[in-house]
Amino acid sequence: MDFNKYYEDRQKLVNTFLEKRLEKKGISRVDEAMAYSLLAGGKRIRPIILMATADALGVSGYNFLPVACGLEMIHTYSLIHDDLPCMDDDEYRRGRLTNHKVFGEALALLAGDALLTLAFEVMLEQKNVPAEVLVETVREVAMCAGNFGMVGGQVIDLDSEGRQISEEELRKLHAGKTGALFIAAVRSGARLSGAASDELLALTKFADLLGLAFQITDDILDVEGDAAQMGKAAHSDEKKHKSTYVTLYTLEGAKALAQKTVDEALGCLEMFGENAEALREITKMMCGRKS
């Protein structure tokens, strides 16, 4: 398959959907702050994973843009709130000023709130699936995004600052903070496509391992990136008190764990044969494999 074309086509679809949806205006200028962050580009990896999961089940992922784009809104709101002064206090994101640097803290806070809320509105606009399935799908997305998943992971992250944590805690932190939305993406795509229970199980296992492999890779790239760019030593210093898979396992150990985890993830996709090609390519792309 021409994976680059596959990915770019879906990226464009997601961008177009988001732009169109934001044309429906609210009653205030929070719309502007929402659009600033939501339409800032980005890989759109979560919606594309959702669509690729549907494709793996032989159902066109194009059908599920509303739920897919809801996930992107949830991801974006979490970035806006993460960047706020009381959280990471970041000035730049993707090479642009962060939301609160442009609109002020109050409006950035509310833009995040509005995006999270709009995510649910948009997901519930999904057509072409039985309403029972949609209810169950969106309910599960909420579970993955809240205190049981993403927000819970963010709080564990807050509480782990400045101290070494155990592998178990680190796994729980990332399973929540980043893993839960990947699980939401894969399980939503599967549910909306009418996956059988064994398929749902295999795909859930896949999503969990994908999230883990992605995080280990991220920790590795952080170290290697810092080593390559001596000018960014401050960045490395900032992180020296933070537990990562590299601090837990050494660089070589983390690389071996990443490879093993990616292999296991890919193993979960075997039952889907050729249809899972896009999911395989996404996995390799996210975990820094050339082939």
Nearer to a copy of itself, 113 or 222 (CB): 113
- CB of 119: closest distance to a copy of itself in angstroms? 8
Does position 81 interact with a copy of itself (CB under 8 A)? The reply is: yes
Site string for a copy of itself, 26-45 (x = CB under 8 A): xxxxxx--x-----------
**Residues 6 or more apart whose Cβ sits within 8 Å of residue 252:** none
What burial letters (b/e) apply to 61-83, b meaning 16+ CB within 10 Å? Answer: bebbbbbbbbbbbbbbbbbbbbb
Q: What are phi and psi of 97, to 5 degrees?
A: -60, 145
Indicate the DSSP class of residue 291. Answer: -
**Residues 6 or more apart whose Cβ sits within 8 Å of residue 50:** 61, 64, 67, 68, 71, 185, 186, 188, 189
Does position 18 interact with a copy of itself (CB under 8 A)? The reply is: no
Does position 87 interact with a copy of itself (CB under 8 A)? The reply is: yes
- CB of 288: closest distance to a copy of itself in angstroms? 28
**Residues 6 or more apart whose Cβ sits within 8 Å of residue 135:** none
Q: Are 241 and 162 in contact (CB under 8 A)?
A: yes
- CB of 86: closest distance to a copy of itself in angstroms? 4
Other CB atoms within a 10 A radius of the CB of residue 12 amount to 11
Does position 194 interact with a copy of itself (CB under 8 A)? The reply is: no
* 99-158: contacts with a copy of itself (CB under 8 A): 104-107, 109-110, 112-114, 116-118, 120-121, 124-125, 130-132, 134-136, 138-139, 142-143, 145-149, 151-156, 158
Nearer to a copy of itself, 2 or 168 (CB): 168
Nearer to a copy of itself, 142 or 251 (CB): 142
Q: Are 70 and 192 in contact (CB under 8 A)?
A: no
Does position 84 interact with a copy of itself (CB under 8 A)? The reply is: yes
Binding site for a copy of itself (CB under 8 A): 26-31, 34, 77-78, 81, 84-87, 104-107, 109-110, 112-114, 116-118, 120-121, 124-125, 130-132, 134-136, 138-139, 142-143, 145-149, 151-156, 158-159, 172, 176
